[in-house]
C-alpha cells in the first residue's frame, strides 16, 4: 500500500480571463501581470513542500504558472516539469475567442445549459473526463512503479523527508504554519512516497474533481458546500488530495480531499509586493 500527495493548481489570470473570453485550447494567451503575481503568491504559499514530480498542461498560461511556483520553492527549483496535453483546458470549438456570454446564448438556442452544452468543434464532458481518467491512471501507475523500484533497492519512502523543513509529508502549510491534514482518517500523517504538483485549467479541473467524487468516491471536507463543489477554481486556486493505492494494479484508488480551490494565498499579494 502506498500513499502520495496530489496538489492541483489552476493557472494564473490572463487578459482573456479578466475579460471573460473563452480560451479553451485554441487561444494560447500568456499570463497577465496579475496572473504572474498570483502564480508567485501560490509559489510562496507552497514553497516549503518538497514536490517529487511536477506535471503541467502544455498551454502557455499553465507552463508559466508552474515555472513561477517552482521559482519560489525552497526544495524543488530544479525539478523537471513534464508537459502533458491531457491536462489541457476543455476545447470549446467555435466558441473559443468569444465572450462567455456567447456560449450561454448558444446553449440556450440549442435547448441546453452550460456546462453540459458542447459547441460545434468542442469537447464533450465525457471526452474531457476520459482525458483526466487516462492521465490519473498513468500517474498512479508511475508512482506504484517507482515505489516498488525504491523497495527493490532497499530505499525507504522516508528518504524524501528532510528534517530541516522540506518534506513530502509536509502536505500543505498555511501562512500561520499549521498543517492541513493532521486529522485525516486515511492516516495522512504517515509518510508519503511522493508529492505531485499538477498545474491545469478551470473547466478541466472541475471535470477531474467530478471523476474523483462520482467514480472514485473521494472523501470531501465536511465543511464543503454543494456550491463550492461545483464551482470553477479561481485563478491559482489550490486543491490538495491524498491518494491511497492498495496494490500494484491501482484498482479504485482511495482519495481524500484536504482542501478545494483555496485562494487565501492571494490575500497578501499587495502587502508582500510579490
Catalytic residues: 11, 89
- Please state the separation of Cα 87 from the chain's center in Å: 9
Q: Of 132, 194, 145, 201, nearest to 168 (Cα)? A: 194
User: What is the CB neighbour count within 10 angstroms for residue 32?
Assistant: 18
Q: Of 39, 135, 23, 15, nearest to 86 (Cα)? A: 135
Alpha helices in the chain (DSSP H): 15-18, 33-45, 60-71, 100-109, 125-152, 202-210, 226-230, 269-272
Per-residue CA distances from 41 to 173, 210, 273 (Å): 14, 27, 10
Q: Of 151, 145, 94, nearest to 120 (Cα)? A: 94
Is the separation of the CB atoms in 79 and 51 below 8 Å?
Answer: yes
And the C-alpha cell for 85?
Answer: 496535453
| Those residues with Cβ within 8 angstroms of residue 58's Cβ, 6 or more apart along the chain or in another chain | 83, 84, 85, 87, 88
What percentage of the chain's residues is helix, strand, coil (to nearest 5)? 40, 20, 45
Amino acid at each position: 500500500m502506498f500513499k502520495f500527495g496530489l496538489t492541483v493548481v489552476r493557472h494564473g489570470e490572463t487578459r482573456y480571463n479578466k475579460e471573460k473570453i473563452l480560451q479553451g485550447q485554441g487561444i494560447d494567451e500568456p499570463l497577465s501581470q496579475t496572473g504572474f503575481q498570483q502564480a508567485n503568491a501560490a509559489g510562496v504559499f507552497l514553497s516549503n513542500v518538497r514536490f517529487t514530480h511536477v506535471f503541467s498542461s502544455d498551454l502557455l498560461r499553465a507552463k508559466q504558472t508552474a515555472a513561477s511556483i517552482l521559482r519560489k520553492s525552497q526544495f524543488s527549483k530544479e525539478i523537471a516539469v513534464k508537459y502533458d496535453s491531457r491536462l489541457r483546458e476543455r476545447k470549446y470549438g467555435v466558441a473559443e475567442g468569444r465572450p462567455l456570454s456567447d456560449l450561454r446564448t448558444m446553449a440556450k438556442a440549442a435547448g441546453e445549459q452550460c456546462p453540459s452544452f458542447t459547441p460545434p468543434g468542442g469537447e464533450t464532458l465525457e471526452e474531457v473526463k476520459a482525458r483526466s481518467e487516462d492521465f490519473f491512471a498513468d500517474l498512479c501507475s508511475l508512482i506504484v512503479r517507482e515505489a516498488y523500484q525504491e523497495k527493490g533497492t532497499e530505499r525507504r519512502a522516508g528518504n524524501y523527508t528532510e528534517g530541516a523543513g522540506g518534506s513530502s509529508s509536509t502536505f500543505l502549510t498555511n501562512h500561520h504554519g499549521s498543517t492541513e491534514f493532521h486529522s485525516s482518517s486515511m492516516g495522512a500523517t504517515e509518510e508519503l512516497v511522493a508529492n505531485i504538483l499538477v498545474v491545469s485549467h478551470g473547466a478541466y479541473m472541475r471535470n477531474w474533481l467530478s471523476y474523483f467524487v462520482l467514480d472514485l468516491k473521494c472523501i470531501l471536507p465536511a465543511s464543503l458546500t454543494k456550491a463550492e463543489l461545483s464551482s470553477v477554481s479561481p485563478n491559482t486556486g489550490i486543491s490538495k488530495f491524498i491518494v491511497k493505492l492498495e496494490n500494484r494494479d491501482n484498482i479504485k484508488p482511495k482519495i481524500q480531499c484536504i482542501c478545494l480551490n483555496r485562494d487565501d494565498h492571494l490575500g497578501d499579494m499587495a502587502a508582500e509586493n510579490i
